Each structure stands twice: as structure tokens, then as C-alpha cells.
């Protein structure tokens, strides 16, 4: 019995079955590659859902983590540490943010934003207490907490977990008229992904976000963009909003903020929104801890200094071109922006998961989403020859 079989059996026996991973047991990673317990090498085309944009185990982020771990890891926010101010400065310089609130996970950043905009709605906009409404989009994915699954349209994520948190209004993604019609005097915010990742890399029509931005400004509605997956270089820009030529009032980042070394997230905004939070009203034991800050600083540095964002744009266009050249009667659509891509199969193909297993056997790791879609998102350090190899494996699998 192989070691990986033992590990899988133990997971099945002792772990809660809330995930259905591909049966590959990974033990090491470097750059775009990971290795399993049998020593087989794979090209990672998921990047831990874009958490390892900088590549696996980037040496400079690792060095920063080890150095900081030897000095000070956690103080809680009861005291100050010498890393937080530097992270604030560097994030503000990079993104143009005026106020920053650090948390740990993406879902925590979303919850933080929901709390802040509701409070802003009551104290600044003058919405009656308890009446605040937030506009969200169908097929969204913003996390797994109770409030977040309350406005999910995915039955798996939602069913059986009620009673649900009220205060959300769901509209179709990419429909500006529906957005305009959903605004009322109690609307405090709109929470939207620039590209819907979990839904299968759904890109909104051109001009959609410009109109949404105008409507939010006209109606004093806070525009929150969840850039946890699309942000930090994934789409070929630092933030995906740049493709739309707009600026959000609140931007949520996480995942690649630490290059996959540690859970770090942040809410980026202005004094008007984040200024409503006073001491004792929101926080987290680990949020803004020195280890997280040191890791995030290094992760942002390598992302920008090593040309990863530019590479994501260049290699993304090249990868997409390669995918679109595949001739296969089971491919329904190929779409993407930067290195955030999807190949949607026709329903008759029998589901995307079996093709992900074939790709795994060929040494490429990708993941199915929404039944018929294969999502592809390699680390931003991928090279032209690695893209060529990946396209070849995908072509052989789908042809």
C-alpha cells in the first residue's frame, strides 16, 4: 500500500468530508511546480485559488518569514508592533488607499466590509437602524461564513445552514439595468467580484462597471470590489478594477497578499467608511500581527519588483491564444483575463472532473468548477515554454 493511499485513507477516516479534492498528495512546491509523495512532478494550474501568485515557496518571502518568526510573531493589537506601520505605508503607496484594516482570511475581510458599510449607512448616510441593504450578484463567491452564505445562490453552500442573515438583495451579474433598479434609499453598498472566479471565470460585459460606478456615486452607495482572487496581479493588472478604468470605495484583498505563506487579508478604503469603526467595535487576535505584516510586505515586494504583474498579462494573452487554438468538439467556450482562465465544456462531455483527472495523469493540476468548467490559474511566474507544454497537455486531453 503506497504512502499516499495511507494518507488518503486516514483523511477519509478522521477528517470531515467537506471537500472533494483530486486524489493527489502533495509534499513539495517550487515556482510553478509541485511534487507528490511518489516524487511525480506537476505544473500547478490552480495556485491554491490564486494564493500563490508569486509561485510556491518564493525564497525572498520565505526569508522574510523565517527572519520575523525568529524575532516576534504575535502581540495582538493590544500593543503596537514595528511591522504594521510599514505594511500600511507600502499598501497605501501601491493602491492609493487612505485607510487600511488588516485581517486574516478573505471571508473575514468580506465580513469586515459588511460591518463597516452598514455602520457607515446608519451614521453617515442616515439609513434607519436595522434597514441597511447591500446589493450582491447571483453566482457570487465571497466566502463561507453564515452571513456570506446567506446571500449565496449556490445550493451546496447555502442549504441547511439557516436561519439566514437578512439585508442582501441579489441581482444578475453584469446587468447594469438590474443594478439601477435594485437601488433604494436603504442601499448602503454593492459587493461585487470584478470577475466571478468560482462561478467559472465570468467576465462582465464592457462598460458594466463604469455604469455601476456612476450609479453608486449618484446614489451615495459604497462600491465594494472583492479582489481577493482577482487582485494582486492575477488579471495582468495590480487590481482587476484597472481594466474597467474605475476605483472602488472599498477593496478587499487576501490570498496572494502573503504569497501563500500565511493567512493575511486587508480591507482598503477611506476615512469616511473605515473611520466609523471605533476601538472595541471590530478586530481579530491575529489581524495585523508582525509575522503576517512582514510576510505580506515581502510578498508585495516580489510581486511588483520581479515583473510578475506584467508577466501575467503577457503570458495570459499567450495562454488564452493557445487554448483558443484547440480544436475540440467538447469545448463550448474559452475565456479569461491575464492568468485567470477557464475552458467550459459542453454538457454532453460528461462533466469537467474526469478531464481534470486525465490532466493530473499528464502532470498538470487544474480543478473543475460549476460541473462543466476547468479553471486554469498558474502562478504568475510561468514561462512561455511552460505555457506551451500546458496547452499541449490540455489539447491532448480534450481532443
Active site residue 156: no
Give the ranges where the chain is alpha helix by DSSP (H).
Answer: 3-14, 47-50, 59-69, 84-95, 106-120, 146-150, 155-158, 176-182, 208-218, 241-244, 271-274, 290-305, 308-324, 353-361, 384-398
8 A C-beta contact, residue 315 and residue 381: no
Cell 465594494 locates to 224
Catalytic, out of 36, 141, 367, 368: 141
Tell me the three cell numbers of residue 291: 509575522
Catalytic, out of 255, 261, 367, 368: 255
CA–CA gap between residue 335 and residue 269 (Å, rounded): 30
At 223, is the secondary structure helix, strand, or coil?
Answer: strand
Catalytic, out of 226, 360, 367, 368: 226
Instruction: Please choose, from the candidates 42, 46, 43, the residue with its C-alpha nearest in 3D space to the C-alpha of residue 376.
Output: 46
8 A C-beta contact, residue 339 and residue 316: yes
CA–CA gap between residue 82 and residue 94 (Å, rounded): 20
CA–CA gap between residue 267 and residue 104 (Å, rounded): 11
CA–CA gap between residue 238 and residue 225 (Å, rounded): 13
CA–CA gap between residue 231 and residue 227 (Å, rounded): 5
8 A C-beta contact, residue 100 and residue 92: yes
Cell 493527489 locates to 24
Q: What is the dihedral of CA 356, 357, 363, 369, to 10 degrees?
A: 20
Instruction: Please choose, from the candidates 333, 307, 58, 252, the residue with its C-alpha nearest in 3D space to the C-alpha of residue 240.
Output: 252
Active site residue 314: no
Active site residue 333: no
8 A C-beta contact, residue 32 and residue 45: no
Residues annotated as part of the active site: 141, 226, 255
Amino acid at each position: 500500500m503506497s504512502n499516499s493511499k495511507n494518507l488518503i485513507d486516514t483523511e477519509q477516516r478522521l477528517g470531515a468530508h467537506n471537500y472533494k479534492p483530486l486524489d493527489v498528495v502533495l509534499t513539495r512546491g517550487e515556482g510553478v511546480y509541485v511534487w507528490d509523495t511518489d516524487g511525480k512532478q506537476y505544473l500547478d494550474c490552480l495556485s491554491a485559488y490564486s494564493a500563490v501568485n508569486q509561485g510556491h515557496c518564493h525564497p525572498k518571502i520565505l526569508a522574510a518569514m523565517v527572519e520575523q518568526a525568529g524575532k516576534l510573531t504575535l502581540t495582538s493589537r493590544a500593543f503596537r508592533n514595528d511591522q504594521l506601520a510599514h505594511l500600511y505605508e507600502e499598501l497605501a503607496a501601491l493602491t492609493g488607499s487612505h485607510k487600511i484594516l488588516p485581517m486574516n482570511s478573505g471571508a473575514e475581510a468580506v465580513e469586515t466590509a459588511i460591518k463597516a458599510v452598514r455602520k457607515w449607512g446608519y451614521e453617515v448616510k442616515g439609513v434607519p437602524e436595522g434597514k441597511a441593504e447591500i446589493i450582491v450578484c447571483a453566482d457570487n463567491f465571497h466566502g463561507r461564513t453564515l452571513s456570506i452564505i446567506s446571500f449565496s445562490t449556490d445550493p451546496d453552500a447555502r442549504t441547511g445552514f439557516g436561519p439566514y442573515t437578512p439585508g442582501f438583495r441579489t441581482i444578475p451579474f453584469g446587468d447594469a439595468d438590474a443594478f439601477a433598479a435594485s437601488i433604494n434609499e436603504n442601499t448602503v453598498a454593492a459587493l461585487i467580484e470584478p470577475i466571478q472566479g468560482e462561478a467559472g471565470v465570468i467576465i462582465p460585459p464592457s462598460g458594466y462597471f463604469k455604469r455601476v460606478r456612476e450609479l453608486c456615486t449618484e446614489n451615495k452607495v459604497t462600491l465594494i470590489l472583492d479582489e481577493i482572487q482577482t487582485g494582486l496581479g492575477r488579471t495582468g493588472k495590480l487590481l482587476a478594477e484597472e481594466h474597467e478604468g474605475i476605483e472602488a470605495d472599498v477593496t478587499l484583498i487576501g490570498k496572494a497578499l502573503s504569497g501563500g505563506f500565511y493567512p493575511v487579508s486587508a480591507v482598503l478604503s477611506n476615512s469616511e467608511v473605515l473611520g466609523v469603526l471605533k476601538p472595541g467595535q471590530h478586530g481579530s487576535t491575529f489581524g495585523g500581527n508582525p509575522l503576517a505584516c512582514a510576510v505580506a510586505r515581502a510578498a508585495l515586494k516580489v510581486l511588483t519588483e520581479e515583473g510578475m504583474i506584467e508577466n501575467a498579462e503577457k503570458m495570459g494573452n499567450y495562454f488564452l491564444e493557445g487554448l483558443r487554438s484547440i480544436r475540440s468538439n467538447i469545448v463550448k467556450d474559452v475565456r479569461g483575463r491575464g492568468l485567470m482562465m477557464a475552458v467550459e465544456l459542453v454538457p454532453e462531455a460528461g462533466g469537467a472532473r474526469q478531464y481534470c483527472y486525465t490532466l493530473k495523469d499528464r502532470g498538470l493540476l487544474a480543478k473543475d468548477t460549476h460541473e462543466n468548467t476547468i479553471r486554469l490559474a498558474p502562478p504568475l511566474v510561468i514561462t512561455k515554454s511552460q505555457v506551451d507544454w500546458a496547452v499541449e497537455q490540455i489539447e491532448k486531453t480534450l481532443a
